[in-house]
Structure 1
Amino acid sequence: MKSVIQNLPQKKVTRAEALQAALHYFKNDDLAASVWLNKYALKDSEGNIYESTPDDMHRRIAKEIARIEKKYANPLTESEIYEVIKNFKYIVPQGSPMAGIGNPFQIASLSNCFVIGNEGDSDSYGGIMKIDQEQVQLMKRRGGVGHDLSHIRPKGSPVKNSALTSTGIVPFMERYSNSTREVAQDGRRGALMLSVSINHPDSEDFIDAKLEQGKVTGANVSVRIDDAFMKAVKKGDMYTQKYPVFSKNPKYSKTIEAQKLWKKIVHNAWQSAEPGILFWDTIINESVPDSYADLGYKTVSTNPCGEIPLCPYDSCRLLAINLFSYVENPFTKKAAFNFKLFKKHIVIAQRMMDDIIDLELEKIDKILEKIDADPELDEVKATEKTLWLNIRKKAYEGRRTGIGITAEGDMLAALGIRYGSKEGNEFSVKVHKTLGIETYRASVNLAKERGAFSIFDAEREKNNPFILRLKEADSKLYYEMLEHGRRNIALLTIAPTGTTSLMTQTSSGIEPVFMPVYKRRKKVNPNDKGVRVDFVDEVGDSWEEYVVFHHRFKQWMEVNGIDVTKNFSQQELDVLVKKSPYYKATSNDVDWLSKVTMQGAVQKWVDHSISVTINLPNDVSEELVGELYLKAWEVGCKGVTVYRDGSRSGVLIANDEKKENNQSDTLTPFPTKRPQILEADVVRFQNKKEKWIAFIGLVDDKPYEIFTGLADDEDGILLPRWVEKGFIIKNRNEDGSSRYDFQYKNKRGYKTTIEGLSHKFNPEFWNYAKLFSGTLRHGMPIDKIVKLIQSLQLDSESINTWKNGVVRALKHYVEDGTKVIGQTCENCKSDNLIYQEGCLTCNDCGTSKCG
């Protein structure tokens, strides 16, 4: 193999230079520029940067794919490949392929996702620990992982060890979740999917596991639901759970009310957006690879986002086609979708995907070489080596690919079709049917040139519903496939395209546009001319708040002669959106049943699955969630997730005027028993010219406990300035008393622990910290806690200084727009005050006060 080191750009660029060049490339879209630079620009292990813009990356990718093309007949040239991937316009390798192709600095896989499992569904401790180790080994190579827990014996089952009975599924969920949280992947946390069959006697415990906040926070969870259970739900019948699941001679079984368990699933999904649902019989019956189940291709779980059901040790690489770019004359009456160009590019995309498998095999060989060269004993390396040998076998044998799309919402808007309408659903199905047929045709043609995947057997596939649909739609293609085979065992998926859509500057995946208009903030120099200062933060920095238009919404404005530089009022923005093709077509507008119906219709032409979320307003009933799930099963969806607005923290806030609400009067159900490990933020501030530091323990991104005091003195905390996040870990001293340690990763990736936060600060601070942490843990709203602390009358000057520091630290977590009760503006005496970025801001005169 020709070393890619020879093709490595020798010139290093500074981060500032690369960021400036990337900003120019993305036309001052700082979010897209930062995401590309942080996640995908070529870097070595010291952080040196070798690419200035995505154009450098696209040339790197084109060069490597062209190298593989030369191995085969009728090769694509480097120029042909570059032309379809440049500017993220048509074909976009996603995630791991984008970061890893031609990257000599990372010994990592090009696969986005993996599923693992035990031979014979072993539930021994050895088998369970093996899965834990395999999961970590994959995550350190940048892969997302899924595995199923249905093989673990239910709680209370007899075991032949000192425990006598099994602990059931939930403790192992927590183990796998914690392992995920420990693994860093170039600045991101690992991703994990845990699934279980509804037929398992512990499935109810599995469904409830994440309700206790702070539990299983490192995993997505989904329930595999079979048709018999769904029929029992519809009819109000009983349902029998078994272990082993679906066994004709179970060791254990119990009969339950199907509707009762169903209502629990629905309630939990309504409350917290989990569990997701996998309609398992639909997945298995439709799965082309399951035609080869006896050869090791039995589907057992899915990747973390649910779009790729996989057998153990199989993996998949992802690529998205940007649908918006096939709309000619977008946002005009002449708008039309160029199906001819679309079909041409599908052929190229599938060739590229097959080439990426060869590149993946090279990467796996490099991983195996490194494992062999590592100094550990062979028995230490055995699990990791066997894992990658198994993955290599599946990649070589089945050559699975994952072609998908992005910009569905923008494509429809550009054509003047409303997302979610009957016309919109019909056009989407037409596009996806074309993609499905032409991708399979491309794979058959590749088989003519390069050979079929090694275990292809038309006889095995002859009754598969997906293959039969292809036969009905295009009999010529079907009979060519019988004669020549197919290059790839399965080909299609629709993944979420979060960072990809940021760089294509389009809507994500198959989803509608989330918001056509939203708010951003930027730091400004108050002395500059023409600058508007909306608020000043606690360290004195000035910020301007401004409206941002979704890129394609802005394009619609430009096409229609609307001045995009104008400072629009909220009322003007509302009128503008109403005139646009995005009106009633955003995530929160689309008719939910229509979206589920669309997903089911599109699914007929996707051989893997679809990652899609049904967005619901906060006030929808649990009954509606149940109806959506039932409808999804009836129309042939393979899986479905719902998100009710406000059921999870950390979601973008719309650009609407803030509505009065009584959320601050309700308590959050935090865990009363403190989890052993909490994510933590580090907040630094100055109090009377002294440097202070606060450690804020978080549950679901909300404060749960606080430690704070003087920093950088002999008795305080010595912590590098660059540390902003870490973990607070509850430990015990030798005398049995508790202590709280702070752990972070240094710049080399090694864990550094500061022991005994509770003893680093003044004991008087610690006692008050326990009091304030207690109010946090019981869900008292932050603004109310801030008001409580401010009202305390304390004699000691040092404790009052500390008290002010606690207030300043906690104000970071008060939701912007929260109404301030009982205070007036010092400037205009108005009581119309809100929190904004931790500062008190007057809505009437604009005066802002921090600290």
Structure 2
Amino acid sequence: MRSTSNSRKHTPEIVMEIAQPIKTYTTEEAYQASFQYFKGDDLAARVWVNKYALKDSFGQLYELTPDDMHRRIAGEIARIEERYPNPLSENEIFDLIRDFKYIIPQGSPMTGIGNPYQIASLSNCFVIGNDGSSDSYGGIMKVDQEQVQLMKRRGGVGHDLSHIRPKGSPVKNSALTSTGIVPFMERYSNSTREVAQDGRRGALMLSVAIKHPDSEQFIDAKMEQGKVTGANVSVRIDDDFMRAVERGAQYTQQYPIFGDNPLYQKDIEANVLWKKIIHNAWKSAEPGILFWDTIIRESVPDCYADLGYKTVSTNPCGEIPLCPYDSCRLLAINLFSYVKQPFTAEASFNFDLFKKHIAAAQRIMDDIIDLELEKIDGILQKIDEDPEEEEVKRIEKNLWLNIRKKAKEGRRTGIGITAEGDMLAALGLRYGSDEGTAFSVEIHKTVALEAYRGSVHTAKERGAFAIFDAEREQNNPFIQRLKEADGQLYYEMLEYGRRNIALLTIAPTGTTSLMSQTTSGIEPVFLPVYKRRRKVNPSDKDSRVDFVDEVGDSWEEYVVFHHRFKEWMVINGHDTAINYSEKELEELVRQSPYYKATSNDVDYLKKVKMQGAIQQWVDHSISVTINMPQDVTEDIVGECYMEAWKSGCKGVTVYRDGSRSGVLISNSEKKETPEAKIVTPFPTTRPQTLHADVVRFQNKKDKWIAFIGLIDDQPYEIFTGFADDEDGILIPRWVNEGVIIKNREADGSSRYDFQYTNTRGYKTTIEGLSHKFNPEYWNYAKLISSTLRHGMPIEKIVDLISSLQLDTESINTWKNGVARALKRYVPDGTEVSKQKCQNCQSTNLMYQEGCLTCKDCGSSKCG
């Protein structure tokens, strides 16, 4: 569908003039056409059709291939260009964005630009909250509502909890003392999980300052299984804390966290809390770390902190630190496309074309701000027209008015890159090497200088952002680096100002990289060659069985080449159609520039230093993950975190292999067959004592609790029933594990007691789990425990429970709760049969973190 920019009116996009019937397509038609567009890449085709093709709320598709999408986007940007001198034409813009080759608007801009069927923002991410002066219930509920209102418009949200008073603080209401941070973490997390975003869950970042007295509870909150599952969490760490860790000294926590006269203060051993952060990150990849003093010191917008631009938190992936009610739209430049004669001895980087396109990208980003302002006007119009009372609409309306003010006043942009790993490989440079890092730094220095130059030139034509003040910025370290690198640019900025308050970021480009068929963001290649498994029916014609699992299901294993590795193969004369043996594949990789350059190969400390060096040329931040093998020690994680601080990183996240399971299979992994697989059976006699997890969940208005006895971390038995949270008869909220002890009653019957260790180190016993719950629940629990003890796969038990036909509403509610509790133990990557995705009707479903996730469209159903 082509857009005709010259005939469009300058009105919000919710108004659409239709002169003739618009062509629509079925999902299958769009998939087949996109499959051809992506040259047989099934995953890229499905991602585009399900996430980015223009569709209405009834599921009708209005675009056949990404060419239609890119024409739609180009037409709208060209319409904005016409408002200003020297406009880019629609065809010029289309040539820049077509085929995901050079400039790629990300996520919300790609979906929302020119979309008349969806009243949504074009911003990828927001930060909300207050100035830290209010921790009243009203203020906390206001943030909760603002979060939901943004998520329903497709935005990812971040906010900070450091303003909430610590647990046990006196309050002037019936509670007498504060509950602290953790209950509100759960509230915000649950709100996130309730909001549907076109088949996705909302995205949320919660942060807290290490200086806050409840920061330890915040750091531990996600370690309880099933808790705070709807949010990423990061700790804001200051330089004083890091220096205390280095010296092995004490560190003072206080509330409020700023100010000379705190209401509450305590001294802690910095290293004790540091080791807890390291252990939790090693075990579960969270919390992430934000080096807050570095963020504030380097932040250009914080030069305007007194005007409302004080940074308080980040977006969900951490690459955009923001002030309250500011937002950002993201765009990526595909670095691979600027390599001339890739994967040859003559390979070189086209800096001239690269610089030209950076300037165009910055101009396009500024146009997208104007489009966003139109979208916000459309949202405000929708709010005004809604039939609710004005009081009901007040918070939502004020939220968008605040966001509009920040977008119009600061005009913040988010230019980033993708395909860093492929670019280096195409040039014959190994990711993580000194030479490779030096070239990457030169690339990002170029992006910074040319983006800022573009913003200055745009200011000359269109005017500077409203509150630009060169004197405020003159001592900012980032601005000083620009001045040192290019004095002419700096003095032009003094003369004309700058169009945008901040410009640069490096985001994780997940689906973007799938469609550009490159490595993601700043990351190296995950694997140049990997295997996937596909379930097959052995009786199917031409089927091949490579693997039979422990329940007898047959699987075919097939090799998948990373797209640019495949390009290297073709350029260097290797046949891509051969069914290579494992040894031959290993030799191919050894010959390639991807050898020793995968996410698990790159030296951890070198990657951290690379991130720190590049950070010097990114005014926002960088989303990057330090990948580590499963056997890495906690001490090494600590070394990486310390080096990240010293290297000038603004944040860091580690991922230890196995801490969250994936679905890809390493080539070196040994195939398992029923004969080769060693299965440790459950004991025939129940041990007297079992370690147990405590899982809490809510169905409708009823609160439930499950005690799950484990052997080798696998469920062996389950006890469930109503949780009595009001008077704490069952168990305190903070207890998430303990032991289940089997005892004998005087009459010879069995009694199951739950025992946990309280905060003072004493053991507390809850006697007779089987007597605490409804006898009917107990009888069903015995049946389910029996299937668990005989080794039936958990996903099959979940299916069995879900299919039970029970008479009463309470028993059905209990049934659903048991299924939810057990889903948490289904291994990630387990495929599901006989169910369809509610979003795209695909049967390609698997379990991921206890949720049914569609591998085709990414939709996730939990609970």
TM-score bucket of the superposed structures, by smaller chain: 0.7 to 0.9
Look up the match of 1:252: 264
**Alpha-carbon distance in structure 1 between the residues aligned to 2:823 and 2:239:** 49
- In the alignment, which residue of structure 2 is the partner of 1:769? 784
The unaligned stretches of length 5 or more in structure 2 are 1-9, 684-689, 701-707, 731-772, 801-814, 832-845, 848-863
Q: In the alignment, which of 421, 424, 427 is matched to residue 409 of structure 1?
A: 421
Report the CA distance shift for 1:385/1:263 in structure 2 as closer, same or farther (over 3 A): same
**Residues 1:98 and 2:110 aligned together:** yes
SS in 1 for 2:693: coil
In the superposition, relative to structure 1, how do residues 552 and 208 fare at CA in structure 2: closer, same or farther (>3 Å)?
A: same
**Secondary structure, counterpart of 2:695 in structure 1:** coil
* Deviation sequence 1:738-787 (CA, Å, 0-9, x none): 9xxxxxxxxxxxxxxxxxxx99x9996554125557x7xxxx98769999
- 1:705-744 equivalences under 5 Å are none
Shift of the 325–369 alpha-carbon distance from structure 1 to 2, 3 Å rule, reads: same
1:290-309, aligned counterparts within 5 Å?
290-309=302-321
Residue identity opposite 1:426 in structure 2: A
2:46 is the alignment partner of 1:38: no
C-alpha deviation, 1:527, in angstroms: 7.3
Task: Provide the C-alpha distance between the structure 2 equivalents of 1:526 and 1:785, rounded to a whole number of angstroms.
Answer: 22
CA–CA distance in structure 1, aligned partners of residues 297 and 829 of structure 2 = 48
Q: Are 1:394 and 2:403 counterparts? A: no
In structure 2, the CA distance between the partners of 1:817 and 1:287, relative to structure 1 (3 Å rule), is closer
Q: What does 1:576-595 correspond to in 2, within 5 Å?
A: 576-595=588-607
Cα distance in 2, alignment partners of residues 551 and 582 from structure 1: 12
Aligned ranges 1:351-390 → 2 under 5 Å: 351-390=363-402
State the partner residue of 2:210: 198
Give how far 1:241 is off.
0.6
- Equivalent residue number for residue 164 of structure 2: 152
Q: CA deviation at 1:9?
A: 7.7
SS of the counterpart of 2:331? strand
Deviation sequence 1:459-500 (CA, Å, 0-9, x none):
000000000000000000000000100000000000000000
> In the alignment, what sits opposite 2:806?
none
| 2:756 alignment partner in structure 1 | none
Equivalent residue for 1:467? 479
Please list, as runs of the form range in 1=range in 2, the aligned pairs for 1:408-557 lying within 5 A after superposition.
408-522=420-534, 530-534=542-546, 544-557=556-569
Q: Aligned AA for 1:495? A: A
Q: Residues 27-426 of structure 1 correspond to what in structure 2 (within 5 A)? A: 27-426=39-438
Does residue 5 of the first structure (1) align with residue 16 of the second (2)? yes
How far off its partner does 1:273 sit? 0.7
Per the alignment, in what secondary structure is the counterpart of residue 253 of structure 1?
strand
Distance 1:383 1:474 in 2: 45
Aligned in 2, Cα 1:505/1:671: closer, same or farther, shift over 3 Å?
farther
1:562 equivalent among 570, 574, 582: 574
Distance 1:781 1:393 in 2: 59
Alignment of 1:675 onto 2:696 = yes
Following superposition, the deviation at residue 571 of structure 1 comes to 1.0
Q: 1:489 to 1:623 in 2, by over 3 A?
A: same
Write the distance in 2 (CA, Å) between the matches of 1:50 and 1:706.
51
Task: Return closer, same or farther for 1:816/1:197 CA change in 2, 3 Å cut-off.
Answer: closer
Three-state SS of the structure 2 residue aligned to 1:676 is strand
Equivalent-residue separation in structure 2 for 1:253 and 1:817 (angstroms): 48
Pair 268,737 (structure 1): closer, same or farther in 2 beyond 3 Å: closer
Which string of whole-angstrom CA distances, capped at 9 and with x for unpartnered residues, describes residues 81-100 of structure 1? 00010000000000000000
Measure how far apart 1:518 and its partner are: 1.2
Distance 1:621 1:450, change over 3 A: same
> Counterparts of 2:101 and 2:376 in 1: how far apart (Å)?
30
Tell me which residue corresponds to 2:754. Answer: none
CA distance in 2, matches of 1:817, 1:17: 30
Q: 1:678–1:729: 8 Å Cα contact kept in structure 2?
A: no
Structure 1 SS opposite 2:398: helix
Matched residue SS, 1:642:
strand
Query: How high is the TM-score relative to the length of structure 2?
Result: 0.80
C-alpha distance in 1 between matches for 2:25 and 2:551: 31
Residue pair 1:615, 1:644 contacting (<8 A) in 2 also: yes
Task: Report the alpha carbon displacement of residue 543 of structure 1 after superposing the two structures with TM.
Answer: 5.3
Secondary structure of the residue that 1:269 maps to in structure 2?
helix
What displacement does 1:674 show?
2.4
Contact 1:41–1:99 under 8 Å retained in 2: yes
Whether the 8 Å contact between 1:677 and 1:729 is mirrored in structure 2 is: no
Is the alpha carbon distance of 1:816 and 1:96 closer, same or farther for their aligned partners in structure 2, counting shifts above 3 Å? closer
Counterparts of 2:496 and 2:679 in 1: how far apart (Å)? 63
Preserved CA contact (<8 Å) 2:661 2:828: no
SS for the counterpart of 1:111 is coil
Q: Deviations over 1:338-374 (max 9, x none)?
A: 0000001001101110000000000000000011111
1:652 Cα deviation (Å)?
A: 3.2
The residue correspondences of 1:730-809 to structure 2 (distance < 5 A) are 767-770=782-785, 772=787
- The alignment partner of 1:673 has SS state of strand
Contact in 2 for aligned 1:212/1:671 (Cα 8 Å): no
8 A contact 1:601–1:635 mirrored in 2: yes
Task: Verify the 8 A CA contact 2:517 2:563 in the aligned structure 1.
Answer: yes
Deviations 1:409-461 (A, max 9, x none): 00000000000000000000000000000000000000000000000000000
Using the size of structure 1 for normalisation, the TM-score is: 0.81
**571-580 vs 656-665, greater mean Cα deviation:** 656-665
Aligned residues: 737
- Residue aligning to 1:841: none
State the shift of 1:277 in Å.
0.4
CA contact (8 A) 1:471 1:477 kept: yes
Q: Give, in whole Å, the separation in 1 of the partners of 2:225 and 2:343.
A: 46
For residue 655 of structure 1, what is the aligned residue in structure 2? 667
**Stretch of structure 1 that moved more, 262-271 or 608-617:** 262-271
> For the aligned residues, what is the CA RMSD?
3.6
CA contact (8 A) 1:522 1:543 kept: yes
Q: Residues 784, 536 of structure 1: CA spacing in aligned structure 2 closer, same or farther, 3 A cutoff?
A: closer
Contact 1:783 1:811 survives alignment (8 Å): no
Give the 3-state SS of the residue equivalent to 2:602 in structure 1: coil
Q: Distance between the aligned counterparts of 2:280 and 2:79, measured in 1?
A: 50
**Distance across 1 between alignment mates of 2:517 and 2:175:** 55
- What is the rounded CA distance, in whole Å, between the counterparts of 1:175 and 1:69 in structure 2? 43
Alpha-carbon spacing, 1:454–1:85, altered in 2? closer, same or farther (3 Å): same
Give secondary structure in 2 for the equivalent of 1:618. Answer: coil
Work out whether residues 319 and 404 of structure 1, in 8 Å CA contact, stay in contact via their aligned partners in 2. Answer: yes
Structure 2 matches for 1:772-851, cutoff 5 A? 772=787, 813=826
Tell me the distance in 2 between the aligned counterparts of 1:215 and 1:289.
34
Instruction: Give 3-state SS (helix, strand or coil) of 2:630's partner.
Output: coil
- Please give the per-residue CA displacement for 1:584-614, whole angstroms capped at 9, x wherever unaligned: 0000000111100000000000000000000
* Paired residues of 2:321 and 2:620 also in contact (CA < 8 A): yes
- Aligned identity (percent) is 71
Q: Deviations over 1:800-824 (max 9, x none)?
A: xx9xxx9xx9999467899xxxxxx
Stretches of structure 1 that go unaligned for 5 or more consecutive residues are 680-696, 708-727, 739-757, 791-801, 819-836, 839-851
Whether the 8 Å contact between 1:213 and 1:670 is mirrored in structure 2 is no
Q: Following the alignment from structure 1 to structure 2, what is the Cα–Cα distance between the partners of residues 371 and 386?
A: 11
